Structure 1
């Protein structure tokens, strides 16, 4: 069917509906059929009728026929193939989107192109990326479609400009208590809430101008920008996540509609600038929520972000660092070991004590019962030595097989490296996977019963999670206790764009228990010697303002050293365009004069040796 009209006439709509019904492609109610016969124009469903004024279509589960619009973008690859089309007329209401996605299947190539005027028949559905258990919002779409092209080469509907002044500062409305905190049933208020604003444009063509990159290009060819450059900026170009109510409304994910083989995606770092006009449909997906999928090549201007280096420790300063090395095992490329080794020497200035997280066993994720990690650590130590660093010694405790979480078979754990030329380790034998270390008094000072030893490994707080590793060190004749941690992950938490507001952060329960366990152990040390030098370090997997951090500091036992930094520098990880704290070093009251550095060498870059930035603290015991 071909027509020269931009929007199909009622007679054309009626013909398409009739042919679809005759072919058995649509199941219409008797009332709808009668209405179509009596007045075809009255029966025409428009895209804004499908989108409605809430997050859930008022027509969900119902068939629609002959919905008119102009194709604005086609996704011809991946598991969610289809196209977006948009009504160029609209209804003038801010809450109703004029665009919608048509899902054509996981293996079929849509037979349309941008500029086609089409009539679409199918079933209105709500697709939840990641499944209903994810808590994600749903994407309104038309599935099982029948598509008729009326004409080709039509101008695309005018894209809506997303900019600092169009996106509300408030992120989301409070969820409806009667609906378990869901915002799905609330009428959209796009002038008041950012999530409502984006939802009111779901499926429609949008555009942004020059925008700062706040999340580096990831392995899946996506990056994050902000359209609000003054919103919680970091000195290096990111956007800082500083509280549960500072979600940063200007963040937007950017992807390309073209396959990588046809159109390479730029490799951008935080602080780079997305240049020119980027325009395309506004999608919603599992890994970033609202996403602008660009119809044209995405261009980025390099702003030359450099990796940081901390200063060397002075002669009487003890330097303690923590670094999550992201599932390191001997099968990783030598290039990764070499890069990590160079970072320890060049960027971390060869710390005296280095607590490592995510050291895997000698066979990595191969689930073969191996738990020893001596080959992994030896390869890492050799890489540090080859980079000009010290001949580190190391201590650790092998876990029970598959009892500490992480990749099955990987048996990740924490490990201490230390420079024997500067610091000594106090070995107190007997530490194993299940025996807890304790605290005793020794010549009036606190001491560990087992060193290295694990903190409360039998506690429910550490079931299927990495147990803390405690060690006793001596520097300049002074005793220093270091507890290396890797708290439970945020897996299972709902995203900031969840249909529940505030989102459900179920993983916090476990980390709160873990923090209470570590806090209790630190208090045991301080009960023997209130001036003891204790450092709690590692991947806490939680923010400096979180309940877990507050539990660690309970009773004044510890202080989160990251709070000594300027607010803009408080981050060690970048997630969905938010620069945030996950890795921490906390100090006991006896360590009242220190220098802290979050060394930004990974999280802001598309080329990473880990997804975490290491942390360094220097003090005089």
Structure 2
């Protein structure tokens, strides 16, 4: 919601407005200036000429874009501008030539708890309290954005870049800002982020940039956020394509360039290219051999008893058909029996029963489960949902060693068992009182037997990236405040692994789950440093390491790590994240271990 009191005009010139009459006659490039914040911020202007290039006639942020057909030739100054009319649809049409009076304002889109002063988001320069006159008809050409148009370097790393002079030839964010509100066109674009529930998708203007084999753009490091990514929404009320990663928009996708806190710069399309589906298909892994222990991880996205049976069935299909019925499955985001209803319920037996029933109905094994109920509302996620990690296992292939003593608050430890290592309690939770797990899921450890060999499995769901500053924001580089907690969580898990290896240097330990961080992140590096755990995804080429797609970046949030004593065959199975129709927002992955 906009934090400004506005006088809204929705039609033709209001010639009696005294404030407008006292304003200054300027052009759009004078208002936009050479930085993100207008040099005329807060001032009234009159007779600003331009041609209407797009109209937003829905929602609470209605208005229109206009563009000056006579640019000043300075690449730093945008020739486009948004005129905000609130909840009233403006009586203009694309192609109208207009002269606009109004007040220059910088609108900062804010999230809950933020103010324009504290938000990390960039602003949109616009006219408010506006009135206008239609003076005729006109047109402006769209600027074509191609592979060489947007710089590969993403942003100047100067802290708050609000008032920094733009360098559109050097930085992608500066290029987009210097075209804010202008009519842009991308031809024959490839989709790198699937259509979401808000009628938006992501394309790339740089089709070769970090392109993976399935058509996405892989996020390979903090210094390379894929500058070619661009969000696309539609200004029309008509159908919007249900596009998957790798699909194409044939022809021209065109519209004024807007900015939103949900993804940054967005092409508000007045024309969408023709949707051309690609050949992307969900993947399937091979079955494990009788001598291989197959362990998978799958974030099932807030699964709760009472969800539509279709969700359970599709997730079950993923386990049976695409993961080939692993011996052990570590699940993340299993909710309690009442889901997000905040009623004190913490048990999840009904949720897990409904899921295992669906797996059996899909032709899979009759899985059993192990988990520990959390304390109410202590583990983050949706309030009342009490998400947790859990194990499913196939008793025909693997045994779970039950040892008493594990509960929500008692820490589990590796202990000497015969000539090897076992658990003090199974299942158990790692250091649950550690402040690293505040408002976050606690790791669940289980002791399994496969062909007479003990394997310790640690299921994880580290804290989310909530609170991190966006890639597209005005603070560069963005602060990743959530990293600290994940690093502390990784330290606790690493401590458990080191304890096990101190007892038996050949201990078989698998650490897996939704770590909510990248392979190059401090948290994952802490887990793997010194070779204590091997990141199995490193067997893949860097561009193929991803399990999640966010803002057009294919990125690696889910992991399987194992001690060197467990040689493995690893597979990241893409069945969800790249598709508009998805059972979960994460892809599962699996490792088949040669347990000796």
Return the alpha-carbon distance in structure 2 between the equivalents of residues 188 and 297 of structure 1. 29
Say if 2:126 is the partner of 1:148: no
**Aligned pair partner of 2:40 in 38, 50, 59:** 59
Would the aligned equivalents of 1:401 and 1:409 in 2 still touch at CA under 8 Å? yes
Return the alpha-carbon distance in structure 1 between the equivalents of residues 242 and 440 of structure 2. 35
Say if 2:94 is the partner of 1:114: yes
**Structure 1 unaligned spans of 5+:** 1-15, 33-42, 176-180
Would the aligned equivalents of 1:102 and 1:143 in 2 still touch at CA under 8 Å? yes
Equivalent residue number for residue 160 of structure 1:
143
Coordinate RMSD, CA, aligned: 1.3
Would the aligned equivalents of 2:220 and 2:543 in 1 still touch at CA under 8 Å? no
Say if 2:360 is the partner of 1:385: yes
Equivalent residue number for residue 547 of structure 2:
572
Equivalent residue number for residue 199 of structure 1:
177
Return the alpha-carbon distance in structure 2 between the equivalents of residues 130 and 423 of structure 1. 50
Say if 2:418 is the partner of 1:443: yes
* Superposed CA offset, 1:394-415 (max 9, x none): 0000000000000000000000
Q: Greater shift after overlay, 182-191 or 236-245? A: 182-191
Q: Greater shift after overlay, 294-303 or 481-490? A: 294-303
| CA-CA distance at 1:296 after TM superposition | 2.3
Q: Greater shift after overlay, 296-305 or 418-427? A: 296-305
| CA-CA distance at 1:556 after TM superposition | 2.5
Return the alpha-carbon distance in structure 2 between the equivalents of residues 453 and 555 of structure 1. 26
**Aligned pair partner of 2:315 in 325, 340, 351:** 340
Return the alpha-carbon distance in structure 2 between the equivalents of residues 103 and 55 of structure 1. 18
Aligned residue runs from structure 1 range 576-595, under 5 A: 576-591=551-566, 593-595=567-569
Return the alpha-carbon distance in structure 1 between the equivalents of residues 145 and 108 of structure 2. 24
Task: Point out 4+ residue stretches in structure 1 off by more than 6 angstroms.
Answer: none
Return the alpha-carbon distance in structure 2 between the equivalents of residues 127 and 204 of structure 1. 17
Equivalent residue number for residue 7 of structure 1:
none
Return the alpha-carbon distance in structure 1 between the equivalents of residues 129 and 524 of structure 2. 49
Equivalent residue number for residue 139 of structure 1:
124
**Aligned pair partner of 2:578 in 590, 604, 619:** 604
Return the alpha-carbon distance in structure 1 between the equivalents of residues 232 and 196 of structure 2. 11
Equivalent residue number for residue 127 of structure 1:
107
* Structure 1 SS opposite 2:538: helix
Would the aligned equivalents of 1:25 and 1:146 in 2 still touch at CA under 8 Å? no
**Structure 2 unaligned spans of 5+:** 1-11
Say if 2:448 is the partner of 1:497: no
| CA-CA distance at 1:27 after TM superposition | 7.5
Equivalent residue number for residue 192 of structure 2:
214
Would the aligned equivalents of 2:305 and 2:354 in 1 still touch at CA under 8 Å? yes
Aligned residue runs from structure 1 range 198-597, under 5 A: 198-259=176-237, 263-591=238-566, 593-597=567-571
Q: How many corresponding residue pairs? A: 579
| CA-CA distance at 1:299 after TM superposition | 2.1
* Superposed CA offset, 1:291-339 (max 9, x none): 1111124421011210000100011000000000000001210000011
Equivalent residue number for residue 9 of structure 2:
none
Say if 2:46 is the partner of 1:68: no
Return the alpha-carbon distance in structure 1 between the equivalents of residues 530 and 404 of structure 2. 31
Return the alpha-carbon distance in structure 2 between the equivalents of residues 563 and 374 of structure 1. 36
| CA-CA distance at 1:67 after TM superposition | 1.0
| CA-CA distance at 1:534 after TM superposition | 0.4
Would the aligned equivalents of 2:254 and 2:272 in 1 still touch at CA under 8 Å? no
| CA-CA distance at 1:444 after TM superposition | 2.5
* Structure 1 SS opposite 2:214: coil
* Structure 2 SS opposite 1:209: strand
Would the aligned equivalents of 2:249 and 2:272 in 1 still touch at CA under 8 Å? no
Equivalent residue number for residue 5 of structure 2:
none
Return the alpha-carbon distance in structure 2 between the equivalents of residues 71 and 199 of structure 1. 19
| CA-CA distance at 1:564 after TM superposition | 1.1
Would the aligned equivalents of 1:97 and 1:202 in 2 still touch at CA under 8 Å? yes
* Superposed CA offset, 1:533-586 (max 9, x none): 101010000000001101112332212111111222100000111101000011
